[in-house]
Structure 1
Amino acid sequence: MNKILKEKLSEALSSVLPITLIVLVLSATVAPMPVGTLALFLTGAVMLIAGMALFSLGTDVSMTPMGEGIGAQLPKTKNLGVVIGLTLLIGVLITIAEPDLQVLAGQVPSIPNAVLIWTVAGGVGLFFVLAMLRTLFRIRLSLLLFVFYIGVFTLSAFVPNEFVSVAFDSGGVTTGPITVPFIMSLGIGLASIRGDRDAQDDSFGLVALCSIGPILAVLLLGIFFRGGNPSYTRVTVPDIQDTRQVAQIFLHGLPEYIREVCSALLPIIVFCAVFQLVFRRFHRLQMEKIGVGFGYTFIGLALFLTGVNVGFMPAGHFLGRQLALSGHSWILLPLGMLIGYFLVTVEPAVHVLNRQVEAITKGSVSQRAMMLSLSIGVACSVGLAMLRVLTGISIYWLLIPGYTLALLLTLFVPRMFTGIGFDSGGVASGPMTTTFLLPFSMGACEALGGNVLTDAFGVVAMVAMTPLLTIQALGVLYKRKQRRAETAEMAVGAGEDEIIVLEEGVPHE
């Protein structure tokens, strides 16, 4: 276990170090940062490294095997009503547990937190049921994506503009560090009981559908909710005098996030315990290992959330504001892309997805190729988000062409890459996006005098969109590589046949 933990720490360090260096260079050059804010950021970076390592280790030994076990066991009940009911319950519980959703709900105070959270949870629960039924009954994912995204954009035409960005952001934040490991492993478990040749392809796509439910739910909320126009909570950058204050701020924040993680994980742990009592899926040693894994997950997530919320959020807001006021606001575009390129590597759920993709494809799609595709996609999305901040163009001008192209690509790429691509969009838009990129956009938008709700909100939606394109582009390359390999294999086979024929024609002495 110590060796694995060292590997996880090394992986976390290599993920966090680039974005830390970028912020340090910016703070020393174009965006001088108060020493107190910088101290918060650096302390947060250390907590991120420790939190990511422990969380990654914990999900490997707890969330993943438990999710796969539940996914494989549910259809064996042979009662579709029970399966649907349990799937709906799981979807609602893990969504309420998602820390990213709490962050977003807190930044849109004109909609009561409970209303927004339960609306989003209901959307995820219903679409989780749909995703489960799709896997069991072998419904083509691209067909459902076409139908529901057409429905999303049609419905959004009847919703106030302030709700549209929040709705698309909701679809991104619900698939974070709690949701993704559990949903993806459950999908693998569901697909494992089928045993047909398409089962591997259909093990992906659950996250993709679960990202659509919240968008539709919040759009409907925008039509029927009469609580006034949405507003947002400004990010405050604390005025810090010395290092003791830095320690006090983190010590004050840590218990809050420990309570948040407790309330997030407890329903899942209770559900898993009841599942084990009823079905006896795991033996005693497995349950002990899973219990230890939940402990690692708890500590890691508490450290991670404290680091990003207390350390990264004020730094992101301050950097965005200073760069916008630097007199060269265009610099937001290239610097935003650079930050986005490296920031996605810090998302905990991204590493979970990449490991599972490499394992299921038996190395055909490597973690490195996945990470490069995601980094390029997120860099482009942050660049587009900064373009919106600078120009105020409607999010529709980017989302409609982007999703249209992503849906058209589903007709040309292997089925597996459709699932991976649309899953990647939800995975990439995790806590780092909501606690660094969103405040970064808000700070820049406030400094430029723009409308934060229409111009800054939506960055999560942009981050969730572009990986759909880059991962499916990777699928096109994979398909070509596969065809070339098959052609070469056929040529070698034909050559061997020719040699055999020639040998048979040689007379024996």
Structure 2
Amino acid sequence: MGDTLREFYRLLLHSLRNLMPIILVVGVFQLLVMRQVPEGWLPIVIGLGIVVIGVALFLQGLEMGIFPIGRNLSNEFAKKGSLFWLMLFGFCLGFSAVIAEPALIAVAQQAELISAGQINGWVLRLLVALSVGVVVAIGVIRIALGHSLHWYMIIGYLLVVTITFFAPAEIVGLAYDSGGVTTNIVTVPLIAALGIGLAVSIRGRNALTHGFGLVALAVMVPMIVVQLYGIIVFSGGAVAAPPASMLETNAGDGFIDPVGGSIVLGMLRDLLLMFRDVLPIIGVILVFQYLVIRRHLAHVQKVVGGFVLVIFGLYAFVVGLKLGLFPIGRSMAEQLIALDAVLWIYVFAFCIGFATTMAEPALIAIGQKAEEAAKGRLDGNTIRLLVAAGVAIGITIGVHRIITGDSIHYYIMGGYAVVIVLTALAPKYIVALAYDLGGVTTSEVTVPLVTALGIGLATHIEGRNVLIDGFGLIAFASIFPIITVMLYAIAVEFMGRWRQQTT
């Protein structure tokens, strides 16, 4: 019990540390730029506290119940060497992890609200989860066969860009954001462990070249699927976005909807919905553990306790979002626009992007894994700086698009055209890692804030459509880290050749 409490305390500090960059940036802007305290600050502070507790409970539950079993199952299937079971396990693992992804839940809820129900949040999550499941299965085949990631990504993003050209404006930003949030607090550790573990266990495979890339594929394919969904949904014409007053009401008030006039029954219903979200992960683990591996679970009580913590953590996280992070993003957008100084909006966007990315735990973990796999060719801290700079630049450019009202189509298509060219030019060892880094840049804390910032700007700038202009910032945060990391690798390769020629 003492060890569990100490671990929870560590995770609580870890969650608070992830939130601190946002608190510091917002605090500095409020005190030095806006010089005012935001209205309704107390619920926001309480919401942020609930977010910290929720993330800590969620992580504790993952560590106790889900991650150990997931890693064990990955190792067992790698040892078996059965491609069919590996593919099936990869599909189920990808699907179950994404369907319970907190950031995707947050984005889906906002999309359903802003589209006045035309986009169904549950259908959106289901499509994204299915596409990730399929692509993880394909990624397993790629590792097993030893294929280079280059052509998968070049062909895939050519398809993405082509569909973007025909997709309605109402779905483009959301589609790219949906791809960006699929790889996060739940997905990255499970999928990355599967890819690296499989590459290490197969003779002739390289952990850096072949082990990375599953995360990249999991980001790309949902962009295609959601855009196709949007073409169908909006074929009858787009709906008008709800008024700003409705968005602001839903941002914080009524964070628990009563059932039969009872708040307690409302909380119980929400907890049951969270259990429904986590049920696919539980089902996958139990089915593969007992029917395929045919071994009993070790430490059953600990595993059950872990699942319970995951459910309560998810619930607290969503409540905290509604109380804290969404209102902060919209409030900051409104205050910055009221300053009538566009420069401060750009500075805020850059600072939020850089500060939150530097504290991103998934990025730190991937950076360490890449440094180990590269055997001296890469430095983990340099990777973090490059990725943080890419995210900061991306969010700033995304904010500029909202301010100017430019079409997202050309920005996205241009960005990925650059990515495709760099993929052909970059050294092979960096490609899979660069794409993976583009998928782990947005944390469970960053995504809701950045989403709310985009929606807030689109809501308060005259002539902007919230559904068309409000989404897309996460997409920009995913594109530009790929560019900065590949450019760095190309520059290092060029400098190495130049030194050889001059000596």
TM-score interval (norm. to shorter): 0.7 to 0.9
Report the CA distance between 1:421 and its aligned residue: 1.6
Amino acid paired to 1:191: A
Inter-partner Cα distance in structure 2 for 1:363 and 1:10: 31
Q: Which residue of 1 aligns with 2:238?
A: 229
Structure 1 residues 420, 281: CA separation in 2 closer, same or farther (over 3 Å shift)? farther
Q: Does 1:111 align with 2:124?
A: no
Of 90, 94, 110, which residue of structure 1 is paired with 2:93? 90
Q: What is the CA deviation profile of residues 243-276 of structure 1, one whole-angstrom value per residue up to 9, with x for unaligned ones?
A: xxxxxxx999976765454333332123212222
Match of 2:25 among 13, 22, 26: 22
The C-alpha deviation readout for 1:112-162, integer Å capped at 9, x for no partner, is 223322222232222222111111111111111000110111122222122
Q: Residue 440 of structure 1 corresponds to which residue in structure 2?
A: 453
AA partner of residue 37 (structure 1): G
Pick from 155, 176, 185 the counterpart of residue 177 of structure 1: 185
Inter-CA distance 31–446: structure 2 relative to 1 (3 Å threshold): farther
Deviations 1:403-457 (A, max 9, x none): 2222333344443422222112222234334411121122122211122233221
Q: Determine the structure 2 residue equivalent to 1:503.
A: none
Q: How does 1:207-218 map to 2 (within 5 A)?
A: 207-218=215-226
Q: Which segment drifts farther, 416-425 or 250-259?
A: 250-259
Q: How does 1:266-277 map to 2 (within 5 A)?
A: 266-277=279-290
1:88 to partner: Cα distance: 2.7
Q: Is the 8 A contact 1:71 1:189 kept in 2?
A: yes
SS in 1 for 2:248: coil
The aligned residue for residue 104 of structure 2 is 101
Q: Which residue of 2 aligns with 1:379?
A: 392
Identify the residue that residue 394 of structure 1 maps to in structure 2: 407
Amino acid paired to 1:468: I
Taking structure 2 as the reference length, what is the TM-score of the superposition? 0.82
Deviates most, 285-294 or 110-119: 285-294
Partner of 1:463: 477
Separation in 2 of the partners of 1:483 and 1:448? Answer: 50
Is contact 2:86-2:140 (8 Å) kept?
A: no
Structure 1 length normalisation: TM-score?
A: 0.82
CA contact (8 A) 1:110 1:228 kept: no
| Pair 1:82–1:157, CA change in 2 (3 A) | same
Write out aligned runs for 1:29-68 (5 A): 29-31=32-34, 37-56=40-59, 59=62, 63-68=66-71
Larger Rg: 1
CA deviation string 1:294-349 (max 9, x = no partner): 56555554444433342111111011011112221332111111111112345554
Among the aligned pairs, what percent are the same residue?
A: 28
What amino acid maps onto 1:317 in structure 2? R
The residue type paired with residue 113 of structure 1 is: G
* CA shift digits 1:361-381 (9 cap, x unpaired): 467645433332222111111
TM superposition shift of 1:51: 4.3
Equivalent residue letter for 2:168: P
SS at match of 1:110: coil
Contact 2:332 2:453 in 1 (8 A): yes
Within 2, Cα distance between the matches of 1:363 and 1:44? Answer: 43
Q: Please point out which of 44, 69, 77 is paired with 1:74.
A: 77
Equivalent residue for 2:151?
A: 143
Distance 1:430 1:195 in 2: 34
- Contact 1:309/1:435, CA 8 A, preserved across alignment: no
In structure 2, C-alpha distance between the alignment counterparts of 1:347 and 1:282, rounded to whole Å: 36
- Tell whether the 8 Å contact from 2:98 to 2:182 is kept in structure 1 after alignment: yes
User: CA 1:355 to 1:262, structure 2 compared with 1: closer, same or farther past 3 Å?
Assistant: farther
Partner of residue 453, structure 1: 467
For 1:48-99, what per-residue CA distance to the aligned partner results, in whole angstroms no more than 9, with x for missing partners? 4444455455545654443333333335556544544443333322222222
1:494-509 equivalence runs, <5 A: none
Single out whichever of 440-449 and 203-212 deviates more from structure 2. Answer: 440-449
Which residue among 170, 175, 184 is the counterpart of 1:167? Answer: 175
1:94-493 matched pairs, under 5 angstroms: 94-108=97-111, 109-225=117-233, 226=235, 228-229=237-238, 232=241, 235-236=247-248, 258-280=271-293, 294=307, 297-298=310-311, 300-345=313-358, 347=360, 349-361=362-374, 365-449=378-462, 450-476=464-490
| Matched letter for residue 129 of structure 2 | A
Q: Which sections of structure 2, spanning at least 5 residues, go unmatched?
A: 112-116, 254-262
Instruction: Give the secondary structure class of the aligned counterpart of 2:118.
Output: coil
The one-letter code sitting in structure 1 at the alignment partner of 2:119 is I
Contact kept? 1:68, 1:188, Cα under 8 Å: no
Distance change >3 Å, CA 434–CA 231, structure 1 → 2: farther
Partner Cα separation in structure 1 for residue 216 and residue 311 of structure 2: 26
**AA at the equivalent of 2:209:** D
In structure 2, the residue matched to 1:245 is none
CA distance in 2, matches of 1:61, 1:482: 45
Aligned residues: 479
Deviation larger for 31-40 or 325-334: 31-40
Equivalent residues of 1:59, 1:181 under 8 A apart? no
1:25 CA displacement: 2.7
2:197 corresponds to which letter in structure 1?
G
Change (3 A) 1:348 1:311: farther
| Residues 383-392 or 407-416, more deviating | 407-416
Call closer, same or farther: CA 1:337–1:94 in 2, change over 3 Å: same
Determine the C-alpha separation between the residues in 2 that align with 1:453 and 1:435: 16
Aligned partner of residue 28 in structure 1, secondary structure: helix
Query: Cα distance 1:141–1:266, how it changes in 2: closer, same or farther (>3 A)?
Result: same
SS of equivalent to 1:180: helix
Question: Which segment is superposed worse, 51-60 or 200-209?
Answer: 51-60
